[in-house]
Amino acid sequence: MSNDTGEKLIANNKKAYHDYFIEETYEAGIELYGTEVKSIRMGKCSIKESYVRITDGQAVILGMNVSPYEKGNIFNRDPLRIRRLLLHKKEIRKLEKEVQTGGYTVVPLRVYLKRGLVKLEIGLAKGKKLYDKRETLAKKDMNRNAEREFKMRMK
């Protein structure tokens, strides 16, 4: 287990934090088949190029790559198939409203196991402009340099 809450991180989308301001996060289940779950438990999952779309009152994730399970033979599914996200209707309606009117987008942030179940953390995000990205990188560099200097003084 990776932390005190009993969660094991499978995949992380660091690029989302670089490209977007994350306003809110939601925890969603994913509709999966048996061999997909086994593959995810082995850590063979990527959400780098994936995105969430809301259509017909349902949230789905597109572009999520779950590598085929080696021992799965005929039961393996398409690695890039569209997977339905399990959210409450109220949450889906709120996300849909924000995407349509507020200029937001929904991005997957991380895939993890929680009490034996595969969960996906999604974020309601607003895109960063180029100057925002530069500003974020500059702050990180300043913090890194400050920590380095602090460590040097402590020695």
Q: How far apart are CA 69 and CA 36, in angstroms?
A: 7
Candidates 3.90.226.10, 1.20.120.530, 3.90.1640.30, 2.40.280.10; correct CATH number of 7-128? 2.40.280.10
Asked if residues 61 and 52 have their Cβ atoms less than 8 Å apart, the reply is yes
Q: pLDDT digit string (tens) for 15-24?
A: 888 888 899 9
Provide the residue ranges of all domains of the chain, joining segments of one domain with +.
Answer: 7-128
Q: How far apart are CA 10 and CA 5, in angstroms?
A: 15
- pLDDT more than 90, % of the chain: 33
3-state helix, strand, coil in the chain (%, to 5): 35, 35, 30
Helix (H) or strand (E) holding 99: helix 89-101
pTM: 0.77
On the question of pLDDT at 4 being above 70, the answer is no
Q: How far apart are CA 23 and CA 14, in angstroms?
A: 16
115 vs 79, residue with greater confidence: 115
On the question of pLDDT at 107 being above 90, the answer is yes
Q: pLDDT digit string (tens) for 54-104?
A: 989 899 999 888 888 877 676 677 777 888 999 999 999 999 999 998 889
Give phi and psi for 40, each to the nearest 5: -65, -40
